[in-house]
Amino acid sequence: MNKSERAKYIHKKLNKIYPKIPIPLNHKNKFELLVAVLLSAQCTDERVNQVTPVLFKKANNPLLMKKIPLNTIYKIIKPCGLGPKKSKAIYDLSRILIEKFDGKVPEDFIELEKLPGVGHKTASVVMSQGFGHPAFPVDTHIHRLAQRWGLTSGKNVVETEKDLKNLFPKQSWNKLHLQIIYYGREYCSARACYGLECEICNTCYPRRKKPIKTIKA
């Protein structure tokens, strides 16, 4: 199979395995989603989902979050790692949302990426899952699998995102990026498969004999 054929097979296979795909981070509004994605950096979704109910019970919007002492935010979100940095980002972005956006999360990539603690991936998730705009957030799972499946050279996440966007239909991006994440967790994890064992890897590269060394995101 060439790259285009692999992409078509993968897309069809993932739609068969995951016809409906849940959003991994629990949230009830766009602000909660923004905070949850911010917390998920270098942290599992499971851990974030354990922490956010406590935080959002105290504050589920920027106005309430700004009223919470910074140290209180820190104590709640500490299990997610990078506590000092993340707590300050949550506090500061809440203030900015109030001052600049009337307490609402902006529906704009550029404005989102200007917020403290919000990079391109976080902005992409919010635009995709929060507002429904086509986006292809690339996390470590997607970056790893795209390399194992021969869809990118994998030099960095920016290049991987560009390559995947060129391979898959725009209307599929929002669902597909989640399908790849779930597949990576279940069948092609960082410490398993190595491009040799899961069904997609075997179908894409039936003659592959050596483990694939992927470039980390």
Catalytic residues: 121, 139
Kindly report the number of other CB atoms within 10 A of residue 158's CB atom. 10
> Can you tell me whether residue 188 is helix, strand or coil?
coil
Long-range contacts of 162-167, Cβ-Cβ distance < 8 Å, separation of 24 or more: 164/136, 164/138, 165/136, 167/3, 167/4, 167/7
11 membership: H or E segment, kind and range: helix 3-17
What is d(CA 148, CA 151) in angstroms, rounded to the nearest whole number?
Answer: 8
Kindly report the number of other CB atoms within 10 A of residue 16's CB atom. 8
What does the block give as tokens for 155?
Answer: 């030099």
Residue type for position 154: G
